[in-house]
Structure formats: C-alpha cells, structure tokens
Amino acid sequence: MASLAQRVAAGGWRLFFDVGTLRETQFTGIPNVAANLAREIVLAGLPCGFFIGDNLLRPDHVRFLLDSGGGAYFGYHHQLGQTVAGPLLAAVRAAGGRTIGLFPAEKPFHRMFDVEAQVLHDFSTVVTPHFHLRATTELHGANLLRDIASNDLNVCVSAATAEYLRRLCPEAAGSVVVALNGVRWPERFARLADRLYGNLAFEPYVVILGTIEPRKNLEIVFRALAQDRGLLRRYRWIFMGREGWLFDFGQAAQRHLGAMPDNFTYAGFVGEFKKYALLRFAAFTVYPSLFEGFGLPIAESFSLGTPCAHSASSSMPEVAGDAGFAFRPESVEELLGAIYRLEAERERDAAALAERCRAQAADLTWSRMLRVILDGALTRAEAAARHAGAGA
C-alpha cells in the first residue's frame, strides 16, 4: 500500500470515494464491501474525500459511520447538516484535473472525475430478474449499461463476474480487472469468543448464511432434509440473514417438511460478533445460492476453519477452491452427497480440514482488494496524464 500511496502523492492525485451505500441501517452485502474498502483507505492515510450525493463528508463523521457498523445514527446527523464538509464539485475543481472517483456500488452521476472506477458485484438483476422485485430490476437494469460505459475501470469481484461482464459488454473487455472481496474480523472477537464460549459443549449445529430471498435457494436445503430425516435430526439448523423479498421462510419450510422442525432456528440479521461466534463453532456451513458475484459467506466460514458445502454455480467454486464441497444447486442428491463427504472428512481429520479452509481464505483481504483497485485506477490515470501532456 505504501508504494501506491507514493504514486498518489507523486502524481498529485486526489481520491474521492462514494459512501452513499453506507446509509443502509445494516452493513451487509455491498455496504459491507464499501465499508471495508473505505476503512482501508482511512488506515492507509490516503488523500481521499468521502462523499454522499453532492456533499463531501467531515472526516470525523466518516470514522463515526465506519465504527458504528450501520447508517441509522449517521442518517440523523446528516439530515441535521452536521456531517457535511462542503460541496463535492468545488473540491473536484480545486483538484485541478487530477481526480480519481471510486464507486463501490451504483454511480449517482457520470464523468464527475477525471478517472472513474466502479466495483461491479454481480449481474443477478440481469441474469436472474425473476429473483428480484420489479422495481429493483428496472432501476439496476436501466443504469447498469450506462454505468459500465462511463467507467475507465470496471472492477469485478470475481473472475466469474468479469466473464459475465465481457459477455454482456464486449466493448468494455479492456477496462476490466478482478479484485476479490476480503474477510476481516476484529482481533478482539477471538479473545471474547474464547472467554465466553471456549469451554462450552455446543449442541452440533449447521449455519446457512444469506439474505432470505429466492436466489439463496433455501428450498433445496428443506428438500434435502425432508429426504434424509436422520441428517435433519443430527444438527440444529441455524438460518442467518436479514429479511429479504419474495420468499416466506416459514411457509417454504412447512411445505417441504410438514411442520417447522423444532431444531430450526431462524436468527434473522445478526451483528458481526454473533456471526463470528456462530460460524466459528459450527460443525459446518451450507451455502446453496443459485447465483453469486462472489460468495462472501464461504470466505467468512473458511477464515474461521469451518468447512462449507456450497453451490457449484457462478463464482462460488472460485472462492472455495479445493477446500469446498460443491454441489449443483438444483440437485438434492448432490447436496446430500456434499454434506456426507464433508462429514466423513471431518470425522477422519477435522484439524486438517479446518487448516485447509483457513489457507484458502488467507489471501482474501480488503487491503489486497483495494490495492488491485488503486493500481488499476492509477495506471489509467497516469496513462491519461501522459497522453494529455504529449498532446500539449
């Protein structure tokens, strides 16, 4: 990161980072990615203006926003005008043609900055529109192609997402880089979890993590457990994730299992420490999603040495590598087979399996993701500056 900071300083570049997505009450999914990238910028001490809409934010309120883990309180202060440092446009003009705009999600405007880089997480609204609300597909579908066309750098969170982009927009192929998501747990989590839970004997349980919505494919889990009632009884099944759309958890479980099993726990959204503890002490996790841009729950599970049975769709085999237990997301038999293989390997050598999982996740860091993004953006910014100088 130090060499990139030197390039920023040597070129007189000023970074601008859109934190609009951090107004979400809970940092999950894309807001979680945006928050971690913003935190890396702050930790690296890079010259950066954080903005929401057309306003720059005060640095102390940016830190407050990141530390609070959600935008509920920030929204209150923002409405009172306490967060604003000044107009964005004035800061861009003052930078004198040396600006790099970083967009971790959608772009509220185009060509505000001299070089623009956008993180593209997935194309599920295009590839699987039936899994989303109509208003969502209309909004993202209308903006996506225009956003891509306006970017100097299209940052894809997996090779699978990059391949979708190249097929969707062949003309953008030369502006694509792959920057994998990361995993970060505060150091205090391990100490706190050891102190609270380290000496407890847990009921064996399995975690299924993800927003409760159709694309996450929970019905395949219900169907598998209906077919193997012994597996159903071996564990408590904990479903974590905020309430989504177009999917009724209770109705779906009862449709396949006859009644809500006593050993089902629907936890809803959980905070970061609770998620850490539940993943760390789980027997294993299941991630049956039909389509993902990355598949962060797999990486989070692996980072704690917890194995995962996961879908073989889209980016998920890329994230899991040889440490995962893959299955076709439409096949009950393959899901059961993946779980049986996982159980057998865990029984044979749980420590070796846990280490393989941790090794797979070791290189997935937010610092690495930011380095890829900044290197790509700076390379394009420096080339543009040389071209402008030659033209002069």
The domain segmentation of the chain, as residue ranges, is 2-182+366-391, 187-361
Q: What is the pLDDT of residue 139?
A: 67
CATH topology of domain 187-361: Rossmann fold (3.40.50)
Q: What is the pLDDT of residue 71?
A: 80
Rounded Cα gap, residues 45 and 2, in angstroms: 10
Whether 2-182+366-391 shares its CATH topology with 187-361 is answered: yes
3-state SS assignment for residue 292: coil
Q: What is the pLDDT of residue 20?
A: 92
Contact, 92 vs 99, CB < 8 A? yes
Q: What is the pLDDT of residue 392?
A: 53
Q: What is the pLDDT of residue 366?
A: 97
- Please give the C-alpha separations between residue 50 and each of 45, 93, 294, 381, in angstroms, as whole numbers: 13, 15, 25, 19
- Please give the C-alpha separations between residue 183 and each of 31, 33, 51, in angstroms, as whole numbers: 14, 10, 24
Q: 170 has which bridge partners?
A: none
Divide the 392 residues of the chain into consecutive groups of 10 and give the mean pLDDT of each group: 89 95 85 95 94 93 86 74 91 94 94 97 80 72 85 97 94 96 96 95 95 94 98 98 91 95 94 95 97 96 98 97 98 98 98 98 97 97 82 56
Q: What is the pLDDT of residue 142?
A: 67
In this structure, whether the domain defined by 2-182+366-391 belongs to CATH 3.40.50.2000 is answered with: yes
Q: In what order do the strands lie in the sheet with 55-57?
A: 84-87, 55-57, 48-52, 14-18, 99-103, 115-120, 153-156, 176-178
Strands 205-209 and 236-240, sheet pairing: parallel
Terminal Cα distance for the chain, rounded: 32
CA nearest to 249, candidates 234, 231, 261, 232: 261
